[in-house]
Structure 1
């Protein structure tokens, strides 16, 4: 089950993620305008892949994200891509934190990192929005819907991201990528449901081959809402962003309607009408309206693919946990959830026509 306390707030920096704080302060003084120390570091509890810290000073606070220490899979934890895309989409009008600096010198704190604005607002770890009055919940869902549609309508070429990924063929490349990630992490082992998905997914790719800027991890807990209003004021965690397929990116976001209370609470098992939460069909219709589409053909496949990808990510968490370099103290619980996530993905594939 999801442990809210284990994911929210900050904690003293974990021993495995400590670094030379004086070296960081010196770098910030040289690279960030108006910076004044001294600094005090705490580590965010949540966030599985890249360790994330709050850097407090007497006048303001910052957020630092870095690559984790230890042996890493090739191409993973590319925090320089995060910094680049956040800057670009912010200039295009999407709500994101301001990037203050990127460091690609391992000699400063041991790994590459970037420093960005600490946005003050509310993060909801539960997609039911339990702390929001029932009458207001549709507005919060509409704010999420408008934000992801806004992302998908950004002209990525005009935003300077024309080379941020390949146009077309997104599903095929992603299936191949996550298959490789899954098979390469031998420490985490194999799973029969994942093996069946590896075989079936490439045979069932839909014809929809549009391209857009895709977030890759668009969930409610990666959004900061206004302190008092149903308004998204920052989209976080761009590690998996790329030029992708909007059907794939929206399908990942839509997983909240298919997720049980594992890792991140979903909506499965909840009485949506009594909670005044829009139905899945109504939520999809709102997105289609904003995107100028009649429907989302291939959505069942997209959900199966995304559940497979999510299971592959959890499989990676399991591998990092077993190797001792997972960023999150709750990594064991996430690793233990891997078989359930793999089974969920295969069940959705069967609904999409897999046999």
Structure 2
């Protein structure tokens, strides 16, 4: 058992897995999985079976945060669609077992790429991986969420407006200091909302390190981390994903400023063209607004991580360092806002 999993009560967990028919009499082994600032996540091995247990963190939690029940619901709904997700096994609200509610899903044996520049891949492989990533996002925005039983998974309409209000309120409630650019975005964004209001299922945190790829093929076998998923604006979801093209690697998980042609990675324009061909949606005209909005939203998430680090309730050891990136991201968002205004 890894140090990160030392506090996980093995006896109650083993009893629960056996009661669900997911384990026999063999001993279980637990290891903490890296990644994810929000909800503690563990790999659990029971004989030949491998699962992932994802639970709410302990401590006082912000309203609507750490929504693992929603993660479980949406991934279960997507099981038989063109959006690949792990097989969901069980959801448990009983906090007496592991201290907080949790769910169990199959562990996917595959590759997770933390660096979007894919330094260990060939140019041809990078292009194939990016095309597959774009294909899955287009598939997500094309599912019939009503037919999947997700008609009430979120509110219809005014998604971006409501998101701006939500993250602004959460930020104003924090005790950690906010950058001036963040405060400026809170005022600017509501005054520059684009017209049009389509609603689809959105992931909310779609990026390459939240995908599991086949061990050897350029194929996505699982989309993870659905905590921020809801019903919303697909172009806002797309722009969040495309922040990677506009953020330098030194600041956040980006490819901004890299020689994409030499790397074999499609340009943002090429990537958007393929998405448009697959879905019929065109982001032109409001792209700078959507980019400013998403950098604001990302900064808000990181301010929340900084707050959890200050409170001592963060799931990840590098939460304090991650939280320090909030201000620079907000500043970059303000630059996009000014670019939009100057059009």
User: Normalising TM by the smaller chain, what interval?
Assistant: over 0.9
Identify which of 136, 139, 162 aligns with 2:151: 162
RMSD: 1.7
- After superposition, residues 248-327 of structure 1 pair within 5 angstroms as 248-262=236-250, 264-327=252-315
Gaps of 5+ in 2: none
Deviation of the 1:262 alpha carbon: 4.7
Asked whether the equivalents of residues 178 and 327 of structure 2 are also in contact (C-alpha less than 8 Å), the reply is no
Q: Does the Cα contact within 8 Å between 1:263 and 1:334 map onto a contact in 2? A: no
Kindly state the Cα deviation for residue 263 of structure 1 after the two structures are TM-superposed. 6.6
Out of 154, 161, 172, the residue aligned to residue 172 of structure 1 is 161
Deviation of 1:91 (Å): 2.6
Local SS of the residue matching 2:341:
coil
Structure 1 segment 33-182 matched on structure 2, within 5 A: 33-182=22-171
Aligned residues: 343
Q: CA deviation at 1:266?
A: 0.7
More deviation in 112-121 or 52-61?
52-61
**What residue number does 1:230 align with?**
218
SS of the aligned residue for 1:282 comes to helix
Deviations 1:93-132 (A, max 9, x none): 3100011100001111110000100001111111112121
| 1:287-325 superposed Cα distances (whole Å, 9 cap, x missing partner) | 001002355431211111111000000000000000001
Q: 1:42-82, CA deviations, whole angstroms, 9 ceiling, x for partnerless residues?
A: 11121100010111222221101000011111111010000
Q: Classify 1:301/1:31 alpha carbon distance in 2 versus 1 (closer, same or farther; 3 Å).
A: same
Distance 2:161 2:292 in 1: 14
Offset of 1:178 from its aligned partner?
0.6
Unaligned runs of 5+ in 1: 1-9
Is 1:339 matched up with 2:327?
A: yes
- 2:28 is equivalent to residue 12 of structure 1: no
User: Which moved further from structure 2: 49-58 or 128-137?
Assistant: 128-137
CA contact (8 A) 1:54 1:61 kept: yes
Distance 1:287 1:272 in 2: 18
